Structure 1
Amino acid sequence: MRKGILFASFITFISAVAQTEATDTISTRQLDEVVVKGEKPQVKGKDGIMVVDLPGIVKDKPVTNILEALGYMPGVTNNNGMIWLTGASNVTIILNGELTNMPLQNLYQLLYNTPVDRLKNVEIMYSAPAKYHVNGAVINVVLKTPTPLDGLQGQVRAGYNQAHYGSYGGVLAATYAIKDWTFDLNYGLTRSKSWSREETWSNHLYDGKRTMIEDDMRRIGQNWNNTIFASASWKTLKLTYNGQIISDSKSWSLSSGTLGNYTNAYNMLSPVGYHNIALRYAAPFGMTVGGDYTHYSENRSQSLFKDADYLLGSENRQAIDRWHVYVDQQHQLGQWQLNYGAEYQHSKDHSSQHYAMSDNPDFDDILSEDVASFYAGTQRSFDWGLSFNLSAKGEYYHNKYQHNWNFIPQFGATYYKTPKSIFQLNFNTQRIYPSYWELHGGTSHINNYSTIVGNLQLQPYIQYDAQFNYILRQKYVATFYFQYGDKTTVQLPYQSPDAMNLIYQTINMNYKRVVGLNLYAPFGVGYIWNATATANVFNQREKADHFHDIGFDNSKWIFYGEFSNSFKFSQNCPVSLTVDFSYISPSLQGIADLSSIWKVDAGVKWQFGKNRCCELDLKADDIFNKWSPTMTINHAGQDYRMKVRDMSHNLKLTFIWRFNGFKPKETNIDTSRFGTGK
């Protein structure tokens, strides 16, 4: 848990670019001895939306899936499988313009299972129009649509990942279209085993004297992960199923130190299940209606031992049922587009926590939540270069603790007169809600000293984001951004003055403010060397008048830099190499300061077989094992330090076989004007 807290903390303010230049060129046309070449644009802009040619950018990279590919986009960083966007407090990933309503872990697993060959392009919306039913920034992953001429297409992928322990898995992805029907299947099975280490030093002030409590904790986890995505479409009617089943899930934390030797064992008493089924219909007169149902279930036990002595145990259950419906209408009124709609979501969370041999109170709650909203928006393009989208949404939120109305405006504009210069301005607001589990106020024990405590008083907070993008020659991007979170949340350790107890609890701060500039520049030498340099400089300030019984006001200038390189020995060489460097200067989270970190990644990609239908990728991440920060708290009597080790150090080997190459089969029919796989 503490590793997750620290990892999330330094990622949230490292919204930076990781990208390599793509020199994908338009097909060469030879006229006698005259050769005409044109460089394909990497970035386009319209209506406040940035369209990125991601397939061209990653074609020489050792990238096998869409999740890994997203990290090479302008303004995006993929840090150990977590996606962040420069200048945005958070980002939602949608597929083909449709919100999946999947938990983040499930969505990332789906993207990891989806071959990069399925990718058509990616749209970045710093301020997503309300018609997408998403507040804030959005990354829209646009997939290729199969046609009947393509036949059955797909790929099989198998991989092995060696970190401290080995993990392995495989993916089958396939598409098929016939007449008005389109089918899509994606199945992945992964066996994972993880390991991490945390060293902590807590110099605790209690009863007028300091006591140093040292702890060295190793965390081990394992599970089988089954992920299924299946869809069937008939004309404009689409049925989709998303599912994830995690079985044989176990984890242990083994700690030794001042207080003795502890073992914390966590077991899933039944498989963790996530199931979502969605139906969507687009009418020919501009109306879209849809709905989905989600069920999530988890049943976990915890047992805490000191040496061989059983100290306490608990059983945690959570069952969530969620229904969601929406209707959208769009009209074209001359050069103006008008859109409006409404949506409603109802969820029921039945959670419980029961203890054995503990004074902590049990709970068994049913928490119902209702969110209803309606919106109206418009967009327009002018001949003199300006295009924009504007929308406003009214939202009503209700649960047994609170109910409120929210007004959520959104604006995105692009000025595009020539390809040399594109200007974009975006603004949005959103309300961020706490997790279901935290609102129940349960307590989990790490050992006799450290506990994780829920917060019944935790409030949602309002986030304001604004960005100004300048795109030069459809490849160089500068982003100036401002973020302000009013009563934003943070979870950090706190040394209690009333007992020898270290408390982890999510609380509301006064605010978090970030202002910065991100620069992205691709360059290279022909096909031999392509590189991208990224620099992100920003000032971050976090303030809380009431962090438990103390306050803080912490600010710092922070720098993130990355230099990404790819090499080829000849233009048609089947082998390409990559070497990437990343650095983050000392940074902060709430009352805590984080040390600087750096890493070097390298990889090789080899394509072989008939029409290069096979691919072998070897990638080493964080070769020198330096991408792990140290967190230090030294303020208002708090004296604490934590060092996390082995966060991203690993070696990955992946084999891919593409059947039908995700391209149309050879026929006697001229298909040059059809299909999307070009």
Structure 2
Amino acid sequence: MRKLIIIAALITSISAVAQKEASDTITTRQLNEVVVRGEKPQVRGEDGMMVVDLPGIVKDKPVNNILEALGYLPGVTNNNGMIGLTGSSNVTIILNGELTDMPLQNLYQLLYTTPVDRLKKVEIMYSAPAKYHADGAVINVVLKTPTPLDGLQGQVRAGYNQAHYASYGKGLAATYALKDWTFDLNYGLSRTKSWNQEESFSNHPFNGKHTMIEDNRRRMVQNWSNTIFASASWKTLKLIYNGQIISDSKQWSFSSGTLGDFTNTYNMLSPIGYHNIAVRYITPFGMTAGGDYTLYSENRSQSLFKDADYILGSESRQDINRWHVYIDQQHQLGKWQLNYGAEYQYSEDHSSQHYDISGNSDFDDILREDVASFYAGTQQSFNRGVSLNASAKVEYYHNQYQHDWNFIPQIGATLQHPQSIFQLNLSTRRIYPSYWELHGGTSHINDYSTVIGNPKLQSYIQYDAQFNYILRQKYVATLYFQYGDKATAQLPYQSPDALNLIYQTINMNYKRVVGLNLYAPFGTGYIWNATATANVFNQREKADNFHDINFDNRKWIFYGSLTNSFKFSRNNPVSLSVDVSYISPSLQGIADLSAIWKIDAGVKWLFGKKHCFELDLKADDIFNRWSPTMTISHAGQDYRMKVRDMTSNLKLTFIWRFNGFKPKDNNSMDTSRFGTGR
């Protein structure tokens, strides 16, 4: 026992000495740096939507604007600047949960001029609740909100793009907050000149025999574009202006072939103007009221020559006035959230087309359109990781051609486990044709090919369903189904009554797509980060009355992409990227499309104090293979067109960020119904 007491006393003494030494020396010793590294989730599931850390995904990419960044979202494709969402027939892009209500071209221009540093996160909703005032799939771009402590922040950008011709542009983005005020400004100026080429071989059936008509068409487009987005917020009141003015807009088309040499010129007689003013107010009791006014104007002339002979000329004009108002109310009833509201939109489209030499009829009329709707929805989170959102909207549509009552339901459900997230989405929506197509105007490409409007074109109902499985907050599998009842397509048709190739948008019986999309990020620490996407789907398009014939076209199609980014050290200011994409042979209505592929590469360099400067160099479609060949061989139709767009281009962008506006370690689709170029 005595030995045990001595041993215990000795241990206590040694412990006391050690504690004293540690206490006496802890102020003079420096501990080695302890670094705990974790992987930030790329994808999270919340209330039926996917919340994506897009800034973290693109931080090493030569990407400097939000439009380019969206192409790296799970399931999202960026096809020459056109954003699509796999598993959905169409997608609407909104900002901070608010529908921008602008034409697609203007929205894309705004996203192109908005720095990726402004981006906070992105929310993907395959079936957006009706409270967002957007049917079907939605990508919600959430921007960072400035605070008074930030002061004036912003960036200046200058860019140069070399394709067949050179284009260049510059932009300014700035934010400022003062007490209860917040200001946002985004301005972009660009000079664009583009080129593309189409080689067509039309074995035209006429008078009981076939006549081969070959045509080689080169087209050039140039313009100046001014885009501005400005907003001012005071507490819960917000005023927004966004607009675009396109000036010095010209288009030339040169055709040579069997029927001779043609020159087709389009000139804008006045700048294309788009102006939208919106106001939004949130009351203290949960009601949101807002409205906007849109003014759009376009006036262009066309002149068609065969050799030096003047064949025809026309002047087309479109003036649109559109008013839109809405009101939303939200209540919290225990664990249930109840929301309901109404909206009304009135548009007046005054369009005209006059020919000086042509057999086509002139028109000058006004198309008035009313759309009114009421919705109700609910949202609830249950125990065991289950959440549900559902809504239903009743819509009335009216113009002089049709009157429709539409019932548009939506449902989204989420089940979350520690390692897995399951999501089910169901939605419907009605898709309306463009204003210009309903007037039935005609545009001549040359003496053989014409684009004709269709006053009988009907809106159609689109049904979409998706099932998402998200593993470990980064791997995503999407099983999807799409069905467009009376879906539309614009396709060429060889008239049996004359040597005339007609492009016209028509209603098919239906378009059906079923497929599986897989998204998987992987890599080796900071050195290499990659994302693989594989999409396998079966597409079928059927029409019993495609002019005087019918078709039933179906095909299995594969889309695959692999994006890669490389860094040589963790803090290296230089990063490299190489991206590869491929689409197997596909279809569009009666037409079959060949396989296409592309390779993109780029380098990103951050330099200067606190990395306030950025230089991006990117080569898109290095081998110029992202253009298909279209073939039609069915029911006497025999046509082939090879598209030779200059999709290969080199982009150089310089950025200066001021006052802390810097990258962090990691900021509809609604088809435009405006325009005479149909």
Which of the five TM-score ranges fits, normalised by the shorter chain? over 0.9
Q: What is the aligned partner in structure 1 of residue 3 from structure 2?
A: none
Q: What is the aligned partner in structure 2 of residue 225 from structure 1?
A: 225
- Whether 1:174 aligns to 2:174 is yes
Q: Is the 8 A contact 1:55 1:116 kept in 2?
A: yes
Q: Is the 8 A contact 1:592 1:633 kept in 2?
A: yes
Q: What is the aligned partner in structure 2 of residue 67 from structure 1?
A: 67
Three-state SS of the structure 2 residue aligned to 1:447 is coil
Q: What is the aligned partner in structure 2 of residue 246 from structure 1?
A: 246
Q: What is the aligned partner in structure 1 of residue 197 from structure 2?
A: 197
CA distance in 1 between partners of 2:538 and 2:347 (Å): 38
CA distance in 1 between partners of 2:602 and 2:329 (Å): 47
- Whether 1:266 aligns to 2:266 is yes
Q: CA deviation at 1:382?
A: 1.1
Q: What is the aligned partner in structure 1 of residue 675 from structure 2?
A: none
State the Cα deviation string for residues 475-508 of structure 1 (Å, max 9, x = none): 0000000000000001110000111110000000
Q: What is the aligned partner in structure 1 of residue 635 from structure 2?
A: 636
Q: What is the aligned partner in structure 2 of residue 649 from structure 1?
A: 648
Three-state SS of the structure 1 residue aligned to 2:660 is helix
Q: CA deviation at 1:511?
A: 0.2
Three-state SS of the structure 2 residue aligned to 1:562 is strand
- Whether 1:499 aligns to 2:498 is yes
CA distance in 2 between partners of 1:221 and 1:119 (Å): 32
Three-state SS of the structure 1 residue aligned to 2:540 is strand
Q: Is the 8 A contact 1:568 1:576 kept in 2?
A: yes
- Whether 1:80 aligns to 2:80 is yes
Q: CA deviation at 1:557?
A: 0.1
Q: What is the aligned partner in structure 1 of residue 670 from structure 2?
A: none
- Amino acid corresponding to residue 511 of structure 2 in structure 1: K
State the Cα deviation string for residues 322-345 of structure 1 (Å, max 9, x = none): 000000000001100000000000
Q: What is the aligned partner in structure 1 of residue 547 from structure 2?
A: 548
C-alpha change, 1:330 and 1:636, in structure 2 (3 Å) is: same
- Amino acid corresponding to residue 401 of structure 1 in structure 2: Y
Q: What is the aligned partner in structure 1 of residue 570 from structure 2?
A: 571
State the Cα deviation string for residues 30-84 of structure 1 (Å, max 9, x = none): 9856532211000000211100000000000000100000000001011111000
- Amino acid corresponding to residue 585 of structure 1 in structure 2: S
Q: Is the 8 A contact 1:218 1:255 kept in 2?
A: yes
- Whether 1:212 aligns to 2:212 is yes
C-alpha change, 1:33 and 1:222, in structure 2 (3 Å) is: closer
- Whether 1:108 aligns to 2:74 is no
- Amino acid corresponding to residue 210 of structure 1 in structure 2: H
Q: CA deviation at 1:284?
A: 1.5
Q: CA deviation at 1:244?
A: 0.1
Aligned-residue RMSD, C-alpha: 1.4
Q: Is the 8 A contact 2:160 2:653 kept in 1?
A: yes
Q: Is the 8 A contact 1:46 1:416 kept in 2?
A: no
CA distance in 1 between partners of 2:42 and 2:649 (Å): 30
CA distance in 1 between partners of 2:541 and 2:580 (Å): 29
CA distance in 2 between partners of 1:649 and 1:186 (Å): 28
- Whether 1:443 aligns to 2:454 is no
CA distance in 2 between partners of 1:317 and 1:225 (Å): 19
Q: What is the aligned partner in structure 1 of residue 147 from structure 2?
A: 147
Q: CA deviation at 1:359?
A: 1.1
Q: What is the aligned partner in structure 2 of residue 390 from structure 1?
A: 390
- Whether 1:428 aligns to 2:407 is no
CA distance in 2 between partners of 1:253 and 1:663 (Å): 44
CA distance in 1 between partners of 2:535 and 2:258 (Å): 41
CA distance in 2 between partners of 1:244 and 1:34 (Å): 52
- Amino acid corresponding to residue 442 of structure 1 in structure 2: G
Q: CA deviation at 1:677?
A: 9.4
Q: What is the aligned partner in structure 2 of residue 282 from structure 1?
A: 282
Q: Is the 8 A contact 2:117 2:662 kept in 1?
A: no
C-alpha change, 1:324 and 1:31, in structure 2 (3 Å) is: farther
State the Cα deviation string for residues 456-475 of structure 1 (Å, max 9, x = none): 11000000000000000000
Q: What is the aligned partner in structure 2 of residue 591 from structure 1?
A: 590
CA distance in 2 between partners of 1:440 and 1:79 (Å): 30
- Amino acid corresponding to residue 566 of structure 1 in structure 2: S
Q: CA deviation at 1:404?
A: 1.2
Q: CA deviation at 1:660?
A: 1.1
CA distance in 2 between partners of 1:417 and 1:128 (Å): 23
Three-state SS of the structure 2 residue aligned to 1:35 is coil
Three-state SS of the structure 2 residue aligned to 1:661 is coil
Three-state SS of the structure 2 residue aligned to 1:36 is coil
Three-state SS of the structure 1 residue aligned to 2:111 is helix
State the Cα deviation string for residues 207-247 of structure 1 (Å, max 9, x = none): 01110000000000100000000000000000000000000
Q: Extract unaligned runs of 5+ from structure 2.
A: 1-29, 668-678
Q: Is the 8 A contact 2:59 2:666 kept in 1?
A: no
CA distance in 2 between partners of 1:304 and 1:61 (Å): 45
* Higher deviation after alignment, 380-389 or 233-242: 380-389
- Whether 1:535 aligns to 2:546 is no
CA distance in 1 between partners of 2:405 and 2:77 (Å): 34
Q: Is the 8 A contact 1:411 1:428 kept in 2?
A: yes
CA distance in 2 between partners of 1:646 and 1:282 (Å): 47
Q: What is the aligned partner in structure 2 of residue 343 from structure 1?
A: 343
State TM-score, norm by structure 1. Answer: 0.93
Q: Is the 8 A contact 1:618 1:654 kept in 2?
A: yes
> In percent, how many aligned pairs have the same letter?
83
Q: Is the 8 A contact 2:62 2:602 kept in 1?
A: yes
Q: CA deviation at 1:646?
A: 2.6
State TM-score, norm by structure 2. Answer: 0.93
Q: CA deviation at 1:383?
A: 2.2
CA distance in 1 between partners of 2:87 and 2:462 (Å): 12
- The 5 Å alignment of 1:146-165 reads 146-165=146-165
CA distance in 1 between partners of 2:171 and 2:268 (Å): 24
* Higher deviation after alignment, 104-113 or 37-46: 37-46
- Amino acid corresponding to residue 116 of structure 1 in structure 2: V
Q: What is the aligned partner in structure 2 of residue 559 from structure 1?
A: 558
Q: Is the 8 A contact 1:663 1:677 kept in 2?
A: no
- Whether 1:183 aligns to 2:170 is no
CA distance in 1 between partners of 2:35 and 2:229 (Å): 45
Q: What is the aligned partner in structure 2 of residue 479 from structure 1?
A: 478
Q: What is the aligned partner in structure 2 of residue 622 from structure 1?
A: 621
Q: Is the 8 A contact 2:163 2:646 kept in 1?
A: no
Q: CA deviation at 1:661?
A: 2.5
CA distance in 2 between partners of 1:421 and 1:247 (Å): 52
Q: What is the aligned partner in structure 2 of residue 24 from structure 1?
A: none
CA distance in 2 between partners of 1:359 and 1:256 (Å): 23
CA distance in 2 between partners of 1:563 and 1:426 (Å): 27
Q: Is the 8 A contact 2:56 2:666 kept in 1?
A: no
CA distance in 1 between partners of 2:38 and 2:665 (Å): 21
State the Cα deviation string for residues 496-553 of structure 1 (Å, max 9, x = none): 0111110000000000000000001000011000011110000000000000000000
- Amino acid corresponding to residue 612 of structure 2 in structure 1: C
* Higher deviation after alignment, 553-562 or 34-43: 34-43
Q: CA deviation at 1:362?
A: 0.2
Q: What is the aligned partner in structure 1 of residue 659 from structure 2?
A: 660
Three-state SS of the structure 1 residue aligned to 2:105 is helix
Three-state SS of the structure 2 residue aligned to 1:662 is coil
CA distance in 2 between partners of 1:31 and 1:314 (Å): 81
The structure that has the greater radius of gyration is: 2
C-alpha change, 1:31 and 1:347, in structure 2 (3 Å) is: farther
- Amino acid corresponding to residue 249 of structure 1 in structure 2: S
Q: What is the aligned partner in structure 2 of residue 15 from structure 1?
A: none
CA distance in 2 between partners of 1:617 and 1:292 (Å): 37
Q: Extract unaligned runs of 5+ from structure 1.
A: 1-29, 665-674
Three-state SS of the structure 1 residue aligned to 2:622 is coil
CA distance in 2 between partners of 1:514 and 1:430 (Å): 16
Q: What is the aligned partner in structure 2 of residue 668 from structure 1?
A: none
Q: Is the 8 A contact 1:262 1:306 kept in 2?
A: yes
Q: What is the aligned partner in structure 2 of residue 669 from structure 1?
A: none
CA distance in 1 between partners of 2:219 and 2:33 (Å): 65
CA distance in 1 between partners of 2:269 and 2:50 (Å): 45
